[in-house]
Structure 1
């Protein structure tokens, strides 16, 4: 039926509206770099590192941290561990003969989830700025210096950075992170950004508040709570880290869908922030609602209507449309779409967000996660 085809086209056009609006706003604002009034600054820093069965990589991570271009006498490292392997012993051994940085190891009796571990780590941190990082992420040597320069601006209470290199070489993730960086740069110049990244997130200790013990988006939740309390939380592209990612469709679902669940749930839980807190509630959050909660359903419904309309109108010939869609997914997940790869990266993100919306009401979320052994090979 032609009516179904027309409906499908209309829904897909509606799906594009947030992107068109973003591009228009980006062209008007022309944002670049950090929105903060940066200047060299060396506050004391507490690096909080949650670990779970990281014996394979934890020493590499600690070596990276102590090699950062920052005065180590101004740094403490707080490791919150719930491992069943030798990770805590390796941590203790690493710091045994070091005067700096200072170190604290919190051994959890039972594994209670990442958010609870972070709440404990943040409570134990003693320095002016708290930096949270993941064990399977590398930081650029100047990451701390670049981040701390943002805190010279008294209006800034939180800073996150960008994935400057996707370990493992995933073009899907590289393109997605490139798009995301542009979005977050614009958000930060307008007011504050919504998403904070686990590989590197930094907060003023005085602004940190406990997060939901069952949170699946701990870094973004803390940033949102800080913004609701009057602080500003920004994205600085000069703060660089490296994190591994998959390109294969099924492997990305395992990696990305859980993150999407956390962000979708956070937006719904904090929906009363819409329209409040300046441009953050009037522009930033509505855009993320459109992208994460509305657009995936429009895309899925539009594609379904288009395929059904093509089949009912053209018969067997109409099957060329779903075949083309499957070929698009197959090629995109193998990083062979060339200049069309960014479109696949957006499509892949929408798949994760739709999956998250469907699974959330049916899934018991306890905040626990399992390390991805394959991705950790990329860290080595």
Structure 2
């Protein structure tokens, strides 16, 4: 009896010890798992941030280095005729100023206006101005579309009408003012037989500091790419190319960024596509941050869709240096916003679940606060020392991500809404 009771007590005591050991093991394992999970989130966030931000630093460094190889504009004229392609839609407020700016240039061109079914007095004002100044251009022609189908469709139609042209086509926007001598400088570029397309550099009017920073960065990259080989993105505000180097069938009517489509098509056809930093034009940035974001999302969608369509050239040996430029732009415009969005999700999960108890966690939290503050300030058109460039990049990534989501939903932004307040401001200048 005593023996049985003693044995029973020993068994109970042994079971208690085993249960305590198991519970202790479970607690230690859970603590280790929680710590490791926090580290995994942190390392995942770091990895995605590196993927997202690395191409901007790498490409900016490369473009700064490539600038030393910059081409010089030839001194001699090309001997080619020039035809100005002017796509318009509801530009009644500024069409006369635009025609006057073109007529003041020191190179006399042919003029082709294509109107996307304007509902205002654009056409009547253009016709009246051309009647008043019949010698302003070598010749002029006006094509009226029956309905509005987007700028790219208008450009395709214009290219079809110019299919027998043997000179230079210069596309320009109604809201862009060309610098004096712009057309002569463009003509000189084409005395170099390797040049297929030339774009201008913007000088934007307005009060949005973030737009100025964005344009400075954007122009540095485009000019650097041009020096190294070619840039896939040129500004449609003033863009010239050799007639015949782009066929209308190469442009996607339901996609925007027709200027970038033309620049890329020219380079893939074997000629160089460059941005001239000394060939400037003046236009006006959107007057408020909301319209600025709308414009950037629309532009972002066009560039993303173009890069996605040209993905077979990202690693093409045939394209040489240009393949690297395409590849890096695809990284920045498609992969980077997705990586940063993923990193942001991990950052939120980590900060909700874990306190910044280690140096790694604390450092990450400080970087996250810096990025968040830079983004918020840039959206509000404000900045403090050291936040402007970071804020501009963060806002750019935001626009790219929104454009990716919109494209994923099957919505196209090629039918844009005009910034009417910008037209009023330009008309009042």
Larger radius of gyration: 2
CA distance in 1, matches of 2:314, 2:73: 27
Matched, 1:328 2:374: yes
Residue 279 (structure 1) shift:
3.0
Contact 2:64 2:224 (8 Å CA) reproduced: no
Matched, 1:298 2:371: no
Residue 94 (structure 1) shift:
0.5
Residue 350 (structure 1) shift:
1.1
Task: Tell me the alpha carbon deviations over residues 231-271 of structure 1, each in whole angstroms, 9 at most, x when there is no partner.
Answer: 21111111111222247543322111011111111111121
What residue number does 1:184 align with? Answer: 222
What are structure 2's unaligned runs of at least 5 residues?
A: 1-37, 357-361
- Going from structure 1 to structure 2, the CA distance change for 1:325 and 1:227 (only over 3 Å counts) comes to closer
Matched, 1:258 2:298: yes
Task: Tell me the alpha carbon deviations over residues 106-138 of structure 1, each in whole angstroms, 9 at most, x when there is no partner.
Answer: 111111221121122233344611011111122
CA distance in 1, matches of 2:66, 2:113: 41
- Going from structure 1 to structure 2, the CA distance change for 1:106 and 1:251 (only over 3 Å counts) comes to same
Contact 1:144 1:239 (8 Å CA) reproduced: no
1:115-194 correspondence to structure 2 within 5 Å: 115-125=152-162, 126=165, 128-163=167-202, 165-194=203-232
CA distance in 2, matches of 1:378, 1:280: 42
Aligned length: 374
CA distance in 2, matches of 1:191, 1:230: 11
What residue number does 2:49 align with? Answer: 12
CA distance in 2, matches of 1:258, 1:369: 8
Relative contact order, higher structure (CA 8 A, sep 6+): 1
Equivalent residue in structure 2 for 1:85, among 108, 116, 120:
120
Matched, 1:94 2:129: yes
- Give SS of 1:207's match: coil
**More displaced 10-residue stretch of structure 1: 110-119 or 269-278:** 269-278
Contact 1:40 1:149 (8 Å CA) reproduced: yes
Equivalent residue in structure 2 for 1:67, among 95, 104, 119:
104
TM-score, with length taken from structure 2: 0.80
Contact 2:178 2:282 (8 Å CA) reproduced: yes
Matched, 1:207 2:251: no
Residue 225 (structure 1) shift:
1.5
Residue 169 (structure 1) shift:
2.8
- Give SS of 2:92's match: coil
- Going from structure 1 to structure 2, the CA distance change for 1:379 and 1:366 (only over 3 Å counts) comes to same
Matched, 1:337 2:377: no
TM-score, with length taken from structure 1: 0.90
What residue number does 2:149 align with? Answer: 112
CA distance in 2, matches of 1:349, 1:334: 14
- Going from structure 1 to structure 2, the CA distance change for 1:377 and 1:347 (only over 3 Å counts) comes to farther
Equivalent residue in structure 2 for 1:54, among 91, 100, 108:
91
CA distance in 2, matches of 1:23, 1:330: 23
Residue 319 (structure 1) shift:
9.7
- Give SS of 1:278's match: coil
CA distance in 1, matches of 2:123, 2:289: 34
Q: CA-atom RMSD, angstroms?
A: 2.5
Contact 1:5 1:310 (8 Å CA) reproduced: no
- Give SS of 2:349's match: helix
